[in-house]
């Protein structure tokens, strides 16, 4: 199972060699659709040698992610695996009407959650139709453009360990800043909360120390990207002159800095006292 572009936001240059090597050893390749934002309409996992894949509707197709409820992930397979798909399969008959087809001798059989999260699938389909093929293609192109715009600006004041064009996301690191000032990726994320930003993913992927993953998506304008870059730059500058100001963040939110170890070890889940 691979995601491409990978979690560093980099397209795997050797993807064909990788999938061929796995196939040669008798394996199948599963495509994790987590990063489909980067390639919708622009390249196809099937052409890279993948056999089956899912789309994370809650990542790429406008479905609520997290607190609002479960995600959904429809699965697609290469032509040669269609006969094994679960039953029933919706088919259009000779009169143009949809029917459920149960007559599939090689099918793996019915699945309990066949309909998936139906409302999510309808919403995602609406998003797909509303944007159309051209729209989805452009969404990916804008997501990639936006990520590279922010990447090039951010490398002026934070390390970017993979200094090459990225896809929809890139990795910055606060390791040098931490050595110089004690301010960590976590502190930067908290300081962003104070400035009105949803904190980015931090400490993931694990292979980059003090990692900050930045994925602006296609929906941001140049103005909002510039504001975000300015906020991040100001945080890094403040960290150098007054590290405590960043380490104490957030101070503008309803709940301030919590003791994360205590929160995990002694969770208090009741409202009030
Ligand atoms: C988000 C992500 C996942 C997890 O997907 P969810 O459906 O949101 O749980 C898996 N792999 C990668 C690479 C991801 O980015």
Spatial CA neighbour of 151 closest among 174, 167, 137, 175: 167
Mean pLDDT of 9-16: 96
In which domain, by residue range, is 26 found? 15-92+100-132
Task: Work out the pLDDT band at 71, boundaries 50, 70, 90.
Answer: confident
Asked whether the beta carbons of 118 and 108 are under 8 A apart, the reply is: no
In this structure, are 221 and 191 located in the same domain?
A: yes
Structure tokens at 253: 């939110």
- The Å distance, Cα 58 to ligand 1 centre, comes to 10
pLDDT at 258: 86
Do residues 123 and 174 both lie within one domain?
A: no
Q: What is residue 129's predicted lDDT score, i.e. its pLDDT?
A: 97
Q: What is the pLDDT of residue 69?
A: 56
The answer to whether residue 184 is domain-embedded is: yes
CATH number of the domain where residue 77 is located:
3.40.640.10
Give buried/exposed letters for 46-76 (b at 16+ CB in 10 A, else e): eebbbbbbbbbbbbbbbbeeeeeeebbbbeb
Mean pLDDT of 39-58: 95
Q: Do 117 and 167 belong together in one domain?
A: no
| Among protein residues, the one whose CA lies closest to atom 15 of ligand 1 | 34
Q: Is residue 116 part of a domain?
A: yes
Residue 248 dihedral angles phi and psi, to the nearest 5°: -90, -5
98 Cα–ligand 1 center, Å: 33
147 and 104 in one domain?
Answer: no
* Token duo for residue 234: 């100001």
For residues 216 and 177, membership in a common domain is answered with yes
Residue 9 within a domain: no
**Do 50 and 162 fall within a single domain?**
no
Which CATH number covers residue 236?
3.90.1150.10
Q: Do 64 and 151 share a domain, yes or no? A: no
Do 125 and 177 belong together in one domain?
Answer: no
In this structure, the answer to whether residues 147 and 111 fall within a common structural domain is no
Helix extents (H) in 62-159: 118-154
123 and 141 belong to one structural domain? no
Residue 65 CA: nearest ligand 1 atom is 8
N- to C-terminal Cα distance for the chain? 47
Assigned domain for 270 exists: no
User: How far does the centroid of ligand 1 lie from the alpha carbon of residue 34, in Å?
Assistant: 5
The 3-state DSSP class for residue 102 equals: coil
Please state the domain count of the chain. Answer: 2
DSSP codes, 232-272 = HHHHHHHHHH-HHHHHT---SSSS----HHHHHHS----S-
Residue having the nearest C-alpha atom to atom 4 of ligand 1: 34
Same domain, 181 and 201: yes
Q: Has residue 273 been placed in a domain? A: no
pLDDT averaged over every residue in the chain: 93
How confident is residue 119, by pLDDT bands cut at 50, 70 and 90? Answer: confident
* Distance between CA atoms of residues 224 and 196, nearest Å: 12
Q: Looking at ligand 1, which atom is closest to the CA of residue 59?
A: 8
pTM assigned to the model: 0.90
Q: How many CB atoms lie within 10 A of CB 31?
A: 25
| Bridge partner residues of 214 (DSSP) | 170
Residue 268 included in any domain: no
Q: In whole angstroms, what is the distance from residue 256 CA to residue 187 CA?
A: 12
Decide: 51 and 28 in contact? Cβ < 8 Å: yes
Is 263 inside a domain boundary? no
């Amino acid at each position: 199972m691979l995601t491409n572009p990978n979690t560093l936001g980099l397209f795997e240059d050797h993807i064909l060699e990788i999938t061929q090597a796995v196939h040669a050893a008798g394996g199948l390749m599963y495509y994790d659709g987590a990063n489909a934002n980067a390639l919708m309409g622009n390249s196809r996992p099937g052409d890279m040698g993948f056999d089956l894949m899912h789309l994370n509707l809650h990542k790429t197709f406008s479905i609520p992610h997290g607190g609002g409820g479960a995600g959904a992930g429809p699965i697609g397979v290469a032509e040669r695996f269609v006969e094994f798909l679960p039953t029933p399969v919706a088919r259009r008959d000779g009169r143009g009407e949809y029917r459920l087809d149960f007559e599939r001798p090689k099918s793996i059989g019915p699945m309990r959650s066949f309909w998936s999260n139906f409302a999510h699938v309808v919403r995602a389909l609406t998003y797909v139709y509303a944007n159309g093929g051209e729209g989805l293609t452009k969404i990916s192109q804008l997501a990639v453009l936006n990520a590279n715009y922010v990447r090039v600006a951010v490398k002026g004041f934070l390390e970017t360990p993979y200094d090459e064009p990225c896809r929809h996301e890139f990795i910055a690191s606060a390791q040098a800043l931490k050595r110089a000032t004690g301010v960590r990726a976590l502190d930067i994320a908290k300081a962003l909360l104070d400035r009105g930003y949803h904190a980015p993913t931090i400490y993931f992927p694990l292979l980059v120390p003090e990692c900050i993953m930045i994925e602006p998506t296609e929906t941001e304008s140049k103005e909002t990207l510039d504001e975000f870059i300015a906020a991040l730059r100001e945080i890094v500058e403040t960290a150098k002159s007054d590290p405590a100001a960043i380490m104490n963040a957030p101070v503008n939110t309803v709940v301030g800095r919590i003791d994360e170890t205590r929160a995990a070890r002694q969770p208090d889940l009741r409202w009030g006292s």
